[in-house]
Amino acid sequence: MTPAKDIVAELAVELPRFLTTNEAADLLRITRRHVYRLVDSGELTKFQHKPGGPLRIPRQRVLDYIEERL
């Protein structure tokens, strides 16, 4: 594994299965607004338990997004 993939693998162990928009933004070092833009563009997948409920981002999709940019 490359050093970058090692870092992503370590992150996977520590992160919850679904991240809040704030957690995703902090991890990616972007704003919440940018997270919403990524969701709207389809670059990040969202999960909502019910319409209008809190938005969650699957951990694996965030990790994939990071790997794509390494």
Task: Name residue 45's amino acid.
Answer: T
The amino acid sitting at 44 is: L
Residue 53 has what pLDDT?
83
pLDDT digits (tens, 9 = 90+) for 30-64: 999 999 999 999 999 998 878 888 899 999 999 99
Mean pLDDT of 10-24: 89
Q: Tell me how far apart the alpha carbons of residues 58 and 47 are, in angstroms, rounded to a whole number.
A: 7
1: pLDDT strictly greater than 70: no
- Confidence (pLDDT) at 10: 79
pLDDT class of 12 with cuts at 50, 70, 90: confident
Question: Can you say how many angstroms the Cα of residue 51 is from the centroid of all Cα atoms in its chain?
Answer: 20
CA separation for the pair 38, 29 (Å, rounded):
13
Through-space distance between the first and last CA atoms of the chain, rounded to whole angstroms: 13
Class of domain 3-68 (CATH, top level): mainly alpha
